[in-house]
Structure 1
Amino acid sequence: MDTQKRIRELMEERRWTDYRLAKEANLSHSTVTNMFNRNNAPTLPTLEAVCRAFGITLAQFFAEGEEAQLTEDQQKLFSKWSTLTDRQKQILLELMDAI
């Protein structure tokens, strides 16, 4: 999947500029413009911030036109995941790997 193209599509749907996306996602404007102008793939934290700004989950972002169907438990996990710090996310992923 071309993540930059998908982000552009979502921006066009909302009629957002690069500046608006940066503001809504709480990212620097240079991060957003470099993603497009230098063809830099967004990091996972950047993509998470972009998805939060669009009001969608990562699963919905990657669904490519299909509506991602999440169970209630999965929706709770995604909701809570977005509130965790980077360190908490790392700890949780390590715990899940250990299970």
Structure 2
Amino acid sequence: MNTWLQQHSMFVLILLTATSATFLVLSVVFLVLWIRAARERRRQYFARVDAERDNLDLEASLQEQLGKLRIVRELHEVVVHSVSTIISQADGAQYAATADAGAAVRA
């Protein structure tokens, strides 16, 4: 065995160098692929977080708009009731004025 190694020392050296170089290249390729995959996972995570934040902002905006719409509806009901009361009183005053001019002045 020892004589074979001495006779083929250059072959063994080339074989070990090639094996080491192959292992080194494969390690670098694996490391690069692993780093790229980690970056992609991180990018996707932040994209999901941003999308969820946007979704929450839209939901909050929608709730705010619905609250404003409820207030507008309530104000509309109050205004309609007030205007209806004013119209009823004006009709009553007009009727009273035609029936009794002094009652319209007192009202």
Query: For the superposition of Structure 1 and Structure 2, which TM-score range results when normalised by the shorter chain?
Result: under 0.3
**Larger relative contact order (CA 8 Å, sep ≥ 6):** 1
Larger Rg: 2
TM-score (norm 2): 0.15
TM-score (norm 1): 0.15
